[in-house]
């Protein structure tokens, strides 16, 4: 079968809609356009303002994430260098670090000890959170019981 014969696998040309005037559209992505036809100038202006604010918000979030990634990279580099110095000095070191930032929670154990080699982060920070929840729960129950007894008495 030659290419000129119909195999059912040919690409069909897709007709494109007529271009809308630029002042009546907002480019949402490379190929997505929001048709603003039918809106008055005030509404169009407001939507364009919201779009600009959204773009700025995305750029701010991207900058925050970039700063957090840079800070994490610097911290990890420092921890690694400190561990290397400990090895050079013939000592042992375990560095544990936990942080929560815009990129999420990061827990790191670096060092030249068995504990560091295991890669396990101690659960002390987790137990503090768990104890806090327990304490808050107990306080809540005490407040409820006091309210019930005060109402009943």
Give tens-digit pLDDT for 2-60. 444 444 444 444 445 567 777 777 766 655 777 888 899 999 999 999 989 998 999 99
Q: Are 113 and 92 contacting, i.e. CB atoms less than 8 angstroms apart?
A: yes
Query: What's this model's pTM, rounded to 2 decimal places?
Result: 0.50
Average pLDDT over residues 85-98: 87
Residue 109 or 144, more confident: 109
d(C-alpha 97, C-alpha 116), whole Å = 11
Which pLDDT belongs to residue 16? 54
Q: Which residues, listed in sequence order, are joined to residue 123 by a DSSP beta bridge?
A: none
Radius of gyration of the CA atoms of the chain, in A: 30
For residue 106, give the 3-state DSSP assignment: strand
Coil, helix or strand for 63? helix
Q: For 79, phi and psi rounded to 5 degrees?
A: -60, -40
How high is the pLDDT of residue 147? 72
Q: Which pLDDT score, from 0 to 100, does residue 9 have?
A: 46
Q: What is the pLDDT of residue 42?
A: 94
Q: How far apart are CA 131 and CA 27, in angstroms?
A: 51
Per-residue pLDDT tens digits for 99-140: 888 888 888 888 888 887 777 776 655 544 556 677 777 777
pLDDT of residue 145: 75
Burial 116-126 (b: 16+ CB within 10 A, else e): beeeeeeeeee
Beta bridge partners of 145: none
pLDDT at 123: 60
């Amino acid at each position: 079968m030659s290419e000129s014969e119909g195999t059912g696998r040919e690409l069909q040309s897709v007709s494109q809609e007529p271009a809308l005037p630029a002042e009546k559209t907002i480019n949402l992505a490379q190929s997505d356009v929001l048709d603003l036809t039918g809106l008055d100038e005030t509404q169009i202006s407001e939507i364009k303002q919201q779009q600009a604010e959204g773009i700025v918000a995305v750029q701010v979030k991207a900058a925050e994430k970039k700063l957090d990634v840079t800070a994490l990279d610097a911290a990890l580099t420092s921890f690694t260098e400190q561990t290397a110095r400990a090895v050079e000095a013939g000592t042992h070191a375990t560095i544990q670090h936990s942080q929560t930032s815009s990129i999420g929670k990061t827990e790191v154990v670096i060092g030249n000890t068995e504990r560091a080699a295991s890669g396990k982060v101690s659960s002390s920070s987790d137990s503090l959170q768990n104890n806090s929840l327990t304490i808050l729960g107990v306080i809540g129950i005490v407040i409820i019981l006091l309210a019930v007894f005060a109402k009943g008495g």
